[in-house]
Amino acid sequence: MNFGYVTVNGVNSNVQVFGSINLTSLYFYVSVHSETKKYLRIFNFGGIMSKIKDYIQLHLNILLFSLTSVFSKFASIQYNRHGLRSPMLYVFLFLMIANCGIYAIAWQQVIKKFSLSTAYANKSVYLLWSQIWAVFIFHESLSVRNIIGLLVVLFGVWMVQRYE
């Protein structure tokens, strides 16, 4: 869009305003005296996509950590059925330790992208994953108190996220 000539400090100037869209942002530019400057970034899609990617990584890491309790329960079942002679007991113990190691490394990378209050508030979603594993893998029942507790936790996570 060309606004034609305007007078700035007693000098006639050719002022143009034009837009630009790329994959991550929408910009407006202003051109005065053939010098173009970025004036306004209307929307930053890249920032949103980056944040979504960070949250997906955070929650995948929490899901990974929740598998430690699954391996622990399987190890407990093996121990109760077969004692210390069960080879599967040691497989599940190894998986627990390996999972904790992988989680620790991944957590250190993910936590750099969030404030501590946000990261640790989201970590409580672990309870949701634990209940999902309990119901679908171990066929345990989910009580009304469990559901109310999960809703309280998720509400707390949502409250912290509102201010992020």
Do both 91 and 19 map to the same domain? no
Do both 57 and 131 map to the same domain? yes
Poorest-pLDDT segment among 39-53, 55-69, 123-137: 39-53
pTM of the model: 0.66
Do both 64 and 136 map to the same domain? yes
- The DSSP code sequence of 8-37 is ETTEEEEEEEEEEE-SSEEEEEEEETTEEE
Q: Which domain holds residue 65?
A: 47-162
- State the pLDDT confidence band at 4, using cuts at 50, 70 and 90: very low
Domain total in the chain: 2
Q: How far apart are CA 147 and CA 94, in angstroms?
A: 32
Sign of CA dihedral 62, 64, 68, 74: positive
Is-contact 88 77, C-beta < 8 A?
Answer: no
Do both 66 and 116 map to the same domain? yes
Tokens 């007078």 sit at which residue?
7
Predicted confidence (pLDDT) at residue 2 exceeds the cutoff of 80:
no
Q: Check residues 2 and 78 and name the one with the higher pLDDT.
A: 78
Do both 124 and 73 map to the same domain? yes
99: CB partners within 8 A, 6+ apart: 64, 65, 67, 68, 71
Do both 19 and 67 map to the same domain? no
Predicted confidence (pLDDT) at residue 119 exceeds the cutoff of 60:
yes
Do both 18 and 60 map to the same domain? no
Determine which helix (DSSP H) or strand (DSSP E) holds 68, and give its type and residue range: helix 45-82
Do both 19 and 72 map to the same domain? no
pLDDT tens for 5-56 read 444 445 555 545 445 444 444 444 445 555 555 444 444 556 778 888 999 9
Do both 64 and 103 map to the same domain? yes
CA 37 to chain centroid = 34
Give me the mean pLDDT over the 140-152 stretch. 94
